[in-house]
Structures are given as structure tokens and as C-alpha cells.
Amino acid sequence: MKPGGIIVENKMFCYQCQETAGCTGCTQSGVCGKKPDVAAMQDLLVYVTKGISAVAVQLRAEGKEVAPAVNHLVTLNLFTTITNANFDKEAIVTRIHATLEVKQELLSQVEHADGLPEAARWTASEPMFAAKAAQVGVLSTGDEDIRSLKSLLLFGMKGMAAYAFHARVLGYEDPSVSSFFYKGLFAVGYDGYAMEDLLPLVMESGKVNLDCMALLDRANRETYGIPAPAQVSMTIEKGPFIVISGHDLHDLEQLLKQTQGTGINIYTHGEMLPAHAYPNLRKYPHLKGNFGTAWQNQQKEFDHIPAPVLFTTNCLMPVKPSYGDRVFTTSVVAYPGMVHIGDGKDFSPVIKKALELGGYDRDVAMTGINGGTTLTTGFGHEAILASAGAVIEGVKNGDISRFFLVGGCDGARPGRNYYTEFVKQAPADSIILTLACGKYRFNDLDLGTVAGLPRLLDMGQCNDAYGAVKVAAALAEAFGCSVNDLPLTLVLSWYEQKAVCILLSLLHLGIKNIYLGPTLPAFVSRGVLNYLVEQFDIHPVSTPEEDIRKILGQQ
């Protein structure tokens, strides 16, 4: 309600990211930049994807196969609706049409359609899309706790879909992941489930996501080699260059191949930084370094950049005119007015733009948030476990007091300096493991060494949380204890849905005493939060000083 008593009707409702308005939900326009009409079409895309999933569940119950192309469609639909990925209404509408068309084909194969939900039977022409979208958003589920659990399940599946997509691009698939998408989406769309029905599904999604991350871990390593520690420069060399952002290593590889011999240098951005650790990518001499910091700084860092930027996955912000002519998108990423590179991955428009802009006329030294000019990455589970003997000995003789996994998403909202200060204030004899883009808050700090090891170990992208799990399990086995008994504390930052599915995987493993921030998810109701606190001792972050004292048992 506005001052003066004027009631303002909600134009949308979205609360899937950490920065949602007022920590309750975006109602007029997305904090991310998503417009109400785009939000509506994303809601409708989720709805029709629930429908096709219900049809797939019924077909399987009748003993019939569902074609792999349908699995791919569902995965792509979920990935398309992830935060900061697709801002193009027409691109989403195209996906809705495609899904309705495939669903009708599947419906013709169903023998017993009487019990199918309305989403499975609904079809309409485009003029009816907006009206239907207004009826099927997240608030269409009335009970707060049920809505919370369905949101937790849905958002976790969106994150998992991103990992499944990246693995499939490299030729790796797990049918059990697609099966769970059908099962989970059916549950999200079904009105008859109570909390006791949904809670096991939420926990199951954590298990399936762990399997999905393991698949992607294998896909990346078998395709690009075992990651090894690499020091990455933040200096941009003179001459034409391209910045590539996102998570998709396959897109980076294609760009590197297509720019060989052109005189164009390639720089990673955001979550692409860990690519420098893979030997089959590092072998390209024109993969030079890393441009800038985390995703939320792009509007400032890309201002009048003399080079094109290619977005391969989410973390795109609304594009400013000062660099709008040099942004290119591919895969699920789309933004109105930007050039989109299709599935053929012909990056010649990007290359042409790089040569046209010419780059800087001198070397330009960029810095991290804390002023550092180099970054180190590549401490995958293989590299850390290769030093397991030194780690175990360091713990036993007291040289290493504790491990902190400080990782997750970065973001723009004030309060994320908590993670910088936490790392700075962590005991000097502790080791900091990190992953995902949250590391940009502190990955340019020189923290020194402990027990002959760097104190800061960057394990890679968000999906490399699987590697952190492997390291924790190996240490627990070496010490003959559970992971919860290790001198290890997880301090996680979240922003979007990949962080949600990782959290669910950690809960599936029974890991307790996780510190989560900078705020708790708006979609977690009081009832669900109480359950998570009771079962897993999840703590909202407070201040670095207070949390460190609590973790170390000093209060």
C-alpha cells in the first residue's frame, strides 16, 4: 500500500533468490531486473513443465518409455528459469510452445488420462498465456509450509538442472536425474501432498543432486583433465580480447578453438575462473587470465569495455547502453536486443566484434576486491587429497586448528562483506576451503601458509561442492570419525538456485552446524525453518566475531 491508502496490485511474485525485495518477494519488478511479463512467462513455463512431467510419470506407470529428447526439454526448461539467466520474454514463450507441442504428442500415447492434473491437460494459444500465468505462480499454493517445501524442491531442481545440462553437453547423462525431475515436478504440481510426503522428496532431491554433481565432476575431468593449482593474472594485455562469463566449459573450449591464430586473447569472468586449472583448457596460450571480479560488479566493470563479453550461463545483469553493443549470449541466456549464439556455437560474431573494438592500447592491471592482482585456483579434490598426509599430520600435531569451507554465491546486497571479514579473522592456523563466486570477496588476499600448505584453497565452481564432500569424507575416514566430528565448519553464502540444491545435498549427507547467510531464504517458512534447525542445527550468520567465537567454543 502506498502512502495515502492507495492499494498497489502486485504485478508479479518471485522469491527464488536471496536478494528478493524486502526479503519477502519481488512484486512490482525483479530486483534482478526481471520484468513482470517475463516473470509471468517463467511461471507459465514451470507450469507446463509440471504438466509434461505428470504425463511422463503416467506413461512410465503404463510401462512406456519417454524419449531422451523429453528429458532434455525438461532440463532446459528448468535451467531457463534460473535467476539472472533469461530476460527475453519471446525466448521463453518459444519454449512454452515447444513444451505444449511435445506434451500433446505424449498425451496421445496415454491410455488412462482421467487422473492427470489440470497442468497435464491444459493447452491454449498465446493470447491466453498471460491470463493463465497469473493463476499458476508460486502463491497458487495456499498453505505456507506446503508452499515452502514445494519451493525448496522446485528451486533445488532448477539448480540441479544446470548441472545436468552441463554434463549432457559433454555427453554424460544419468537417467535417474531425469526420472527425479519428473517425480519432483509432479509433486510440486500435485495438491494432495502433506508435509510428511514432501519432506522425504526434498531430502531425496539432495541425494540425486549429489549424484548429478558427481556425474559433472567426472565429465569435466574426463574431458578436460585433472585440475591442478594455477595462478591467474588479472592484467589484461594490450590488443583485442574476449571476456567469457558463466559456467560452461564446453563453450569456453569452442571459443578457444575458434580464436586460435586470430590474435585475440581470452579472459575468464566470474564462475569461469576455475577453467584455468584444467590442462586441456590451459594448453591454449591465448587463455590469458581473469577479467574483473564477481557477477554483481559487471555493470561497473564492463562500462565501455573495448571488447565483447560472452555469457554462457546465468549471472547476467540488465545490460547498460555503455556496453550493450558488445554483449553476446548463448545457451539458456538471453536478453532483449542482444545477439544470441545458437546451438551451432558459431562465435564468429563475437570474434568480429573483438577485432573491431581492438582492446586496450596498453596492458591494464585490474585488481580484486582487496587490491590483489593475481588469483589462485585449481585445488580440486585430487590436489587436496594428494596432500592428505600433510593435512592429517598437521591436524594431529596441532599445526592446523580447523578447516572452514567459506563458499557459495556472491551478490550485491550489503552484508556480504561478512565473508571477507570472516576469512580475515579466522585463526592464522586454520585452512580456508572455498568455491563458487563467493570467493571473490577474499580470493585476492594473501593468507600465507600453514603446515606447508596455502591457507586459501579454491576448489572451483559451485558444482565442485562435490569435491569438498569427497575431501571431507576422506578426512573423516582417516580420523575414524563422522564428518560432523571433524574440525570443519561450513560457512555458506547463497544467492540463487544452485546454492539451494547444494545445501540440500549437504542436508542429505546429514551434515550439521552449517552457517548460512547473508539472509535466510524468503521461501523457507517458519515451520520448515524450525524443522531444519531441529534436525540439522542450521545457523543464520550473525557477525564474524561472534560466529568465530561460537565455532571455536569460546562462548
The tens digit of pLDDT for each residue in 246-256 reads: 999 999 999 99
Residue whose C-alpha is closest to residue 512's, from 489, 480, 543: 489
Give residue-wise pLDDT tens across range 311-333: 999 999 999 999 999 999 999 99
Q: Which of 491-520 are b and which e, b meaning 16 or more Cβ less than 10 Å from the residue's Cβ?
A: bbbbbbbbbbbbbbbbbbbebbebbbbbbb
The answer to whether 465 and 438 have CB atoms below 8 angstroms apart is: no
Cell numbers at 164, concatenated = 545436468
376 strand-pairing partners: 231
Pairing assessment for the beta strands 241-245 and 374-377 based on DSSP bridges: unpaired
Give the number of other Cβ atoms within 10 Å of residue 17's Cβ: 26
Cell numbers at 275, concatenated = 577453467
Distance from the Cα of residue 371 to its chain's centroid? 26
The H or E element containing residue 540 is strand 539-540
DSSP state of 392: H
Supply the angle between the helices 144-169 and 497-508 in degrees, to the nearest 10: 100
Helix (H/G/I), strand (E/B), else coil: 170: coil
The reported pTM is: 0.96
Q: Is the dihedral of CA 48, 53, 59, 64 positive or negative?
A: positive
Give residue-wise pLDDT tens across range 283-306: 999 999 999 999 999 999 999 999
Cα gap 323→379, rounded to integer Å: 34
pLDDT of residue 2 exceeding 70, the answer is: no
pLDDT of residue 401 exceeding 50, the answer is: yes
Mean pLDDT in residue range 177-203: 97
pLDDT of residue 54 exceeding 80, the answer is: yes
Cell numbers at 415, concatenated = 552484508
Find the radius of gyration of the CA atoms of the chain: 23
Q: What is the pLDDT of residue 9?
A: 76
Cα gap 310→386, rounded to integer Å: 35
Q: What is the pLDDT of residue 413?
A: 87
Residue whose C-alpha is closest to residue 516's, from 409, 381, 402: 409
How much of the chain, in percent, has pLDDT values that exceed 70? 98
How much of the chain, in percent, has pLDDT values that exceed 90? 97
Helix (H/G/I), strand (E/B), else coil: 4: coil
Cα gap 497→16, rounded to integer Å: 7
Distance spanning both ends of the chain, measured CA to CA:
44
The answer to whether 317 and 302 have CB atoms below 8 angstroms apart is: no
Cα gap 248→264, rounded to integer Å: 20
Cα gap 81→39, rounded to integer Å: 9
Distance from the Cα of residue 552 to its chain's centroid? 30
Cα gap 183→199, rounded to integer Å: 14
Cα angle, residue 263 at apex, residues 269 and 249 outer, rounded to 5°: 35
The answer to whether 334 and 87 have CB atoms below 8 angstroms apart is: yes
Q: What is the pLDDT of residue 414?
A: 86
Phi then psi for residue 477, to 5 deg, are -65, -40
Phi then psi for residue 297, to 5 deg, are -100, 5
Mean pLDDT in residue range 340-346: 98
Residue whose C-alpha is closest to residue 406's, from 483, 472, 466, 491: 491
14 strand-pairing partners: 26
Pairing assessment for the beta strands 364-365 and 515-517 based on DSSP bridges: unpaired
Phi then psi for residue 515, to 5 deg, are -95, 125
The answer to whether 209 and 509 have CB atoms below 8 angstroms apart is: no
Q: What is the pLDDT of residue 3?
A: 38
Residue whose C-alpha is closest to residue 355's, from 226, 247, 258: 258
pLDDT of residue 8 exceeding 60, the answer is: no
Phi then psi for residue 346, to 5 deg, are -90, 105
Cell numbers at 185, concatenated = 515436478
Q: Which of 1-15, 50-64, 509-523 has the lowest average pLDDT?
A: 1-15
Cα gap 196→209, rounded to integer Å: 21
Which residues fall within 8 angstroms of residue 142, CB to CB, at 6 or more apart?
Answer: none
